[in-house]
Amino acid sequence: GRGMDAASLTLKLLLIGDSAVGKSSLLLRFTDGAFEPSLKPTIGVDFKVKKMVIDGRAVQLAIWDTAGQERFRTLTPSYYRGAQGVVLVYDVTRKDTFTGLDSWLNELEIYTSKNSTVKMLVGNKTDKPDREVERKEGLQFARKRSLLFIETSAKTLDGVQHAFEELAIKILQTP
């Protein structure tokens, strides 16, 4: 089960996606409220915990960040182990990060359980003017692959809370 003890329900969530799409920024923004314009590449495996109340229930989200391993377009199996939710991030101003999504989905298929891992596609950096991927394209891709979908800006905070909340809600609804 998912540890149904209401007092201590913890969900493991992963951030994945290409380098520099904003994974660490989204995590920091969601958990600390901070936005750091000159963020250094992630060093070392790291995760942060965020407490939320969902449907009157106390939930802890343990959200893991990739430690820069994603530069090699692959992560270690232990990173994926036990994940109930995955946030797959691309940058709406970099088409290559969108076309690269399939390789991430292939890897997810190998390492996570198809039926019990909920996936959220996130198009980040909507505050920037130089968009290369339209919202509609993201939405279509997500529909085809049965992913939840949202666009965000880690800079303005637009959609950030919503992304993690929707994912957590969906996980709690998944048998």
Where do contacts with ligand GDP occur on this chain (CB under 6 A)?
A: 19-25, 37, 39, 42, 124-125, 127-128, 153-155
- Specify the residue, 43 or 53, whose C-beta has the smaller distance to ligand GDP: 43
Q: In this complex, which beta carbon is closest to ligand GDP, that of residue 59 or of residue 120?
A: 120
Closest to 56 (Cα-Cα) out of 145, 135, 172, 174: 172
Tell me, what DSSP letter sits at residue 40? P
Structure-token pair, residue 175: 């048998």
CB 34 → ligand GDP: shortest distance, Å? 11
Nearest distance from C-beta of residue 121 to ligand GDP, angstroms? 14
Using alpha carbons, select from 156, 155, 118, 123 the residue that is nearest to residue 137: 123
Give me the residue whose beta carbon is nearest to ligand GDP.
22
Angle 160-173/23-31 helices, nearest 10 degrees? 90
CB nearer to ligand GDP: give 84 or 126.
126
